[in-house]
Amino acid sequence: MPDILNAGAAVPANGPVGGPNGPAGGDNEIIKDTDTANFEADVLNQSNSVPVIVDFWAEWCEPCKQLGPALEKVVREYGGRVRLAKINVDENQQLAAQMRVQSIPMVVAFQGGKPVDGFAGAVPESQLRQFVEKLTGSAGSPLDQALAEAAALLESGDASSAHAIYQQILQQDLGNAAAHAGLARSLIAAGKDDEALDYLAELPDEMRSGSDLASVITGLELAQETGGNDGDAAEFIAALEGNPDDHQARYDLALAHYAGGQTEAAVEALVEIVRRNREWNDGAARTQLLKIFEALGHTDPVTVEGRRKLSAVLFS
């Protein structure tokens, strides 16, 4: 038996508590409710061909209600490469005792008919993914791999193929924010900005506020703001040659650069405005910079370097 931390809710020693039904059992083959009588077939024998994760839970256990759905979600993403068996400890007390279940939720993974890993207590989804990755020895779930493939296609300019993959992902996981964001990006890449805006508007507010979708939404807003400025760069450059402190001309130049895909030049122009007069137009240059950073994403090299330069100006 693996070393399992004593965390979570203590299991009463005096019989069942609560109702007979636990969290939703899920798919019949990948996720199933099992019991003492079927433990050998559903867990021990099954684990000879695919890893089986056993989730010990009970109706009265609040941490179980947090862990169960997250664990089911991650297992489903692996498309059968790992399976989940759910055991209600109230209804299977002898088995729970044999498995030394002292607190729940408790999770034990089986391979080759033997327990190989486990943990107790509710843990973050990221930790669940690491747990399953270790069991499967794979480089990400099939869903993660599909997301990576779609992103690569989008980067290469094949928006149509990327769009199709994102749609397939959403058929399996409608709540996947990264897939929704990717689908919107594929529409934008195909020149369908209005369709992308309509699509995003239909999503729940809590999903729209997440980092993946917020980046796409901000990018669309910036595209609308800068759409009419891409042909005016020469005019703004001439104005700045006559007056380097013409902040409006430099601001318009930044918008023109952004509209023309020159994001680094746009950031440089806006940082220069902040350096010369950070309070100009109620801090409009800094506000626009933050929008560009969000649209590009926090890990984009232009964002990283732009934030460094902005910080140097603000705190010098």
Buried b (16+ CB within 10 A) or exposed e, 37-53: eebeebbeebbeebbbb
Catalytic residue among 11, 52, 54, 64: 64
Q: Is 64 a catalytic residue?
A: yes
Query: Coil, strand, or helix at residue 4?
Result: coil
Distances (CA, A) of 245 to 226, 238, 263, 313, 315: 21, 12, 22, 17, 21
Residue 169: closest CA among 185, 137, 191, 145 = 145
Q: Is 173 helix (H, G, I), strand (E, B) or coil?
A: coil
Hunting for tokens 């950073």 — which residue is that? 293
Q: Which of 43, 54, 61, 213 is catalytic?
A: 61
| H or E segment and range at residue 108 | strand 106-111
Cα separation of 220 and 184, whole Å? Answer: 10
Which residues make Cβ contacts (< 8 Å) with residue 133, sequence separation at least 6? Answer: 140
- Residue in 91, 34, 31, 29 with CA at minimum distance from that of residue 58: 91
C-alpha to C-alpha distance for 172 and 88, rounded to whole angstroms: 27
Which has the closest alpha carbon to 11: 63, 61, 66, 86? Answer: 61
Query: Where in the sequence numbering do the catalytic residues fall?
Result: 61, 64
